[in-house]
Amino acid sequence: MSRNLLDTPIEYLKGVGPQRGDLLKKELGIFTYRDLLHLYPNRYIDRTKYYRINELSGTSSEVQIVGKIIHLKIVEQKRGKRLVATFTDGTGEIELVWFQGFKWIKDNLKINEPYVAYGKVNSFNFTYSIPHPELELLEEHKKSLSVAMQPVYPSTEKLGTKISNKAMNKLMTQLVTETYALYNDTLSDHLKSRLNLLSMQEALVNIHFPKSTELLEKAQFRLKFEEFFYIQMQLLIKNIARKSKIKGFQFNVVGEFFNTFYSNHLPFPLTGAQKRVIKEIRNDMGQPAQMNRLLQGDVGSGKTIVAFLSCLIALDNGFQACIVAPTEILATQHFIGISEFAEPLGLNIKLLTGSTKTAERRVIHEELENGELQILIGTHALFEDKVIFKNLGLAIIDEQHRFGVEQRSKLWTKNTLPPHVLVMTATPIPRTLAMSLYGDLEVSVIDELPPGRKPIQTLHYFEGKRLAVWHFIKTEIAKGRQVYIVYPLIEESETLDYKNLMEGYEGISRDFPLPEYSVSIVHGQMTPSEKEVEMDRFAKGETNIMVATTVIEVGVNVPNASVMIIESAERFGLSQLHQLRGRVGRGAEQSYCILMTGDKLSNDSKIRMETMCRTNDGFEISEVDLKLRGPGDIMGKQQSGTLPLKIADLVKDQDILHYARHQAVELLKQDPSLENPDNQKIKQKLEALNSKSTIWNYIS
Ligand code: ADP
Ligand code: MG
């Protein structure tokens, strides 16, 4: 596209000007002609359909009615003035209401002339009203009725009062008329004809002014395809570049440590998924390029042994490895688990956390630098400048459910070449998201639990059933089991949380009295060592019940605990519920998760409860979560918000995503460096995208 005209600041478009221009910038981030051109309609209204007033119901949303204004009055109320017009079409009456700018409206409205009123219907006490309707004289409306489908553009409350949808349509007409000759294509002729895609020009014109439903669908497909296609192209090209650039240690030895452990010391047969994932990792590290792989596996899927085997590959090649965990408890658990695995191999493994004593630290620093220390496990203490490895070959980051990006880069700088990186997460990322963010090539998935686990049974109870739940707890405790009771944490109000938790705790202590029962409590206002003491008592079986806020979400391992009660479960998100549930089901016994909620549940809450009761599969849960919350909330704004998707929807358009990915893979197979003349348009667009570096900011 010709740069100049489409890069014109938006205020220069006829009908915009400085004031509206400012609003467009502030409210919708539209700075240039190009930005406005890519403001796609949310939906389209059928402007050939007219409602009768006696047809209106509480569920009519946006309607178009032909009628006359028979009466106009200004109503004064405490909350301010409003202008009310009585509008009739012979079948009934409705009110048209304005809260703002109505002096001008009042002076210009014509009584008893046929108008077309358009807007969203409110119903109140059996009267219908349309606040801030769009009004057009019937005669003019007939003249302007060129399109059957009128686009409705995204707007905001502020913007809507200054630029109505009708005005936006006018701006768009102006823009498209001025610029449509400049919409050059961004896909090759080959691709367009083979996939039967509209040209960019046809697509853009029809997305704003659809000539038919069929053309609209084709325009939508073309533009969605385009968005996914270019993300996939960028990801694929980046992967090819990484693989060809020789910038990682090549671990081509599978040696003594790995083989000895694998043949003689595996504590259990690996699951098929574990074997597959280890193969993927081995293969990656065997290339002369840096591995940057995400390992996803539900809680309890057995990621630790995979991590350990990966470390052994590094060791076999003469390198060191490290494992970083988000909390001290988790780091310690890894240290204990890995040390157990490593026992028969006689490896030098050490733990470094914030509470490591100075003397021990000194030993660690020394052994790290002279290479005696083979595996270092710890918290973010590992990122301190004093921690210098002799030759770090593999860094494993156990993130549980955070996607921290910044700290990772620090480890790079300690080597001439970057170490291979394996990031482990227990929160499954929906496949579609993973595909758009990582291109799918660098994600390993453990989608199979070790055999013999009894699936956790999940039940949802309303508050009224509390007695039955308490009774159930008592029978479980009588069998020797232990119970978690978790309260939600509201970040805005720590004191309120504390109060809820304490009230809960007091109630529980009353219902489960000493000496028959003993109850632990852990909350955010305790010091780490106080928490540890309480956790420890529970872990040792000295207490029957652990009352806690979500601090226990991450990394507690008490196999004898078989019941997880989640209070006010409607206030937790799906992934959090799933994480909490993962605290039980770690022993041989049947485990239960009980979701307690109030009687009134929002639709979303109902779906969350049903989903939890229906499935234990973290991937399935993550897909539902994605549908409920959208990608922004799941990945964090910083990661998904920058996905350049203006029209495509990760949830609804999965088929197009897969299709676009397939096409991108095929294209790069045939023409890896895009030399074919027909592919020059694609190459140019990629170069333009790269120069903006929209997508690389958040990957790796
Ligand atoms: P996570 O993926 O949550 O880190 P862990 O690695 O802690 O899971 O494994 C959970 C439990 O399952 C551990 O007790 C571990 O020893 C056990 N485990 C892992 N893999 C297997 C397997 N293939 N067969 C039997 N038990 C296994
Ligand atoms: Mg783990």
DSSP string spanning 133-162? -EEEEHHHHHHH---SEEEE----HHHHHH
The set of residues, in sequence order, having a beta carbon less than 8 Å from that of 658 and lying 6+ positions away, is: none
Give the C-alpha distances (Å, rounded to integers) separating 667 from 83, 274, 424, 684, 693. Answer: 61, 33, 32, 15, 22
Cα-to-centroid distance, 189 and ligand 1 (Å): 52
Instruction: Give the integer Cα–Cα distance in Å for 274 and 303.
Output: 8
Please give the Cα distance from 217 to 215 (Å, whole number).
5
Look up tokens 């000007």; give the residue.
17
| Residue in the structure block whose two tokens are 């799941």 | 634
Give, for 74, the enclosing helix (H) or strand (E): strand 62-77
Residue nearest to atom 22 of ligand 1 (CA): 450
Name the amino acid, one letter, at 34. Answer: R
Instruction: Classify the C-alpha dihedral 604-610-614-615 as positive or negative.
Output: positive
637 DSSP 8-state letter? I
Task: Give the pLDDT confidence score for residue 414 in this predicted structure.
Answer: 53
Q: Which residue puts its alpha carbon closest to atom 26 of ligand 1?
A: 450
Q: What is the pLDDT of residue 694?
A: 42
User: Given ligand 1 and candidates 301, 397, 558, 583, which is best to mutate, with the most ligand atoms within 8 Å of its CB?
Assistant: 301
Longest dimension (CA), the chain: 96
Q: 323 CA to middle of ligand 2, Å?
A: 11
- Which of 274, 304, 444, 557 gets mutated to test ligand 1 (max ligand atoms within 8 A of its CB)? 304
pLDDT value of position 642: 54
Distance 531 CA to ligand 2 centre (A): 20
Distance 447 CA to ligand 2 centre (A): 15
- Which atom of ligand 1 lies closest to the CA of 446? 2
Query: How far apart are the CA of 291 and the centre of ligand 1, in A?
Result: 24
Which residues have CB under 6 Å of ligand 1?
268, 270-271, 274, 297, 299-305, 426, 450
Chain centroid to CA 520: 35
* Ligand with the closest atom to the CA of 446: 1
Q: How far is the CA of 321 from the centre of ligand 2 (A)?
A: 17
Nearest alpha-carbon partner for 300 in 592, 625, 587: 587
pLDDT at residue 555 in the model: 58
**In this structure, which ligand is nearest to the CA of 399?**
2
Work out the burial of residue 80: count CB atoms within 10 Å of its CB; fewer than 13 is exposed, 13-18 middle, 19 or more buried.
exposed
DSSP conformation letters of 204-261? HHHHHS-SSHHHHHHHHHHHHHHHHHHHHHHHHHHHHHHHHS--S-------HHHHHI
> Could you give all domains of the chain from N- to C-terminal order, each with its CATH number?
1-42+151-182 (1.10.150), 49-144 (2.40.50.140), 256-285+302-425 (3.40.50.300), 457-615 (3.40.50.300)
Specify the residue with its C-alpha closest to ligand 1, atom 20: 302
Rounded distance from Cα 472 to ligand 1 centre (Å): 29
Ligand with smallest separation from the Cα of 583: 1
- Which residues fall within 8 angstroms of residue 500, CB to CB, at 6 or more apart? 487, 488
Which H/E stretch holds residue 189? helix 189-195
- Atom 4 of ligand 1, nearest CA residue: 303
Atom 21 in ligand 1: residue holding the nearest Cα? 450
* 304 CA → ligand 1 middle, Å: 7
Strand segments, DSSP code E, in 523-615 are: 545-548, 561-566, 592-597
**Residues of the chain falling short of pLDDT 70:** 1-3, 59-60, 144-147, 242-246, 400-416, 437-441, 490-497, 551-556, 631-643, 692-700
- Can you give the pLDDT at residue 695? 37
